[in-house]
Chains A and B, each alone.
Chain A
Amino acid sequence: MNINETVTDKLVVNENWCKGCGICVKFCPKNVLKIENEKVKIVDIDKCIQCGLCELRCPDYAIYVRGK
Chain B
Amino acid sequence: MPSEIVNKYFRTNKLPQIWCPGCGHGIITRAITVAIDKLGLDRDKICIVSGIGCSSRAPGYMDFDTLHTTHGRALAFATGIKMANPELKVIVITGDGDATAIGGNHLIHACRRNIDITTIIYNNNIYGMTGGQYSPTTPKFDKGTTVPYGNVDKAFDIPALAIAAGATYVGRSTAYHTQLLISLIENGIKNEGFSLIEAISVCPTYYGRKNKKGSAVEMLEWQKEHAVNIAAASKMTPESLDGKFLIGEFKNSPEPEYTREYQKIIDRLKKE
CB <8 Å contact, B2 and A59: no
Interface size on B, residues (CB 8 A): 28
CB contacts (< 8 Å) of B64 on chain A: these are none
CB <8 Å contact, B26 and A58: yes
Does B102 sit within 8 A of A, measured CB to CB?
no
CB <8 Å contact, B3 and A61: yes
Does B120 sit within 8 A of A, measured CB to CB?
no
Rounded to whole angstroms, the CA-CA distance of A5 and B10 in the bound complex is 18
CB contacts (< 8 Å) of B26 on chain A: these are 58-61
Q: How many A-B residue pairs have CB under 8 A?
A: 69
CB <8 Å contact, A19 and B22: yes
CB <8 Å contact, A57 and B23: no
Which residues of chain A in 24-68 are interfacial with respect to chain B, using CB atoms and an 8 Å cutoff? 25-27, 55-62, 64-65
Contact among A14, A21, A58 with B217 in the assembled complex (CB-CB below 8 Å): A21
Contact among A12, A23, A57 with B3 in the assembled complex (CB-CB below 8 Å): A12
Which residues of chain B in 1-43 are interfacial with respect to chain A, using CB atoms and an 8 Å cutoff? 1-3, 6, 10, 15-17, 19-27, 30
Given contacts A17-B16, A21-B217, A26-B217, contact A61 B24 (CB under 8 A): no
Across the interface, name the chain A residue whose C-beta is closest to B221: A26
Across the interface, name the chain B residue whose C-beta is closest to A3: B1
Given contacts A21-B216, A22-B215, contact A59 B176 (CB under 8 A): no
Across the interface, name the chain A residue whose C-beta is closest to B34: A56
Spell out A's residues near B (CB within 8 Å). 5, 12, 14, 16-17, 19-23, 25-27, 55-62, 64-65
26 contacts between A and B (CB under 8 A): A12-B1, A16-B16, A19-B16, A19-B21, A21-B215, A21-B217, A22-B215, A22-B217, A26-B217, A26-B220, A27-B220, A55-B3, A56-B30, A56-B178, A56-B179, A57-B176, A57-B220, A59-B19, A59-B23, A59-B24, A59-B27, A60-B16, A61-B10, A61-B16, A61-B26, A64-B2
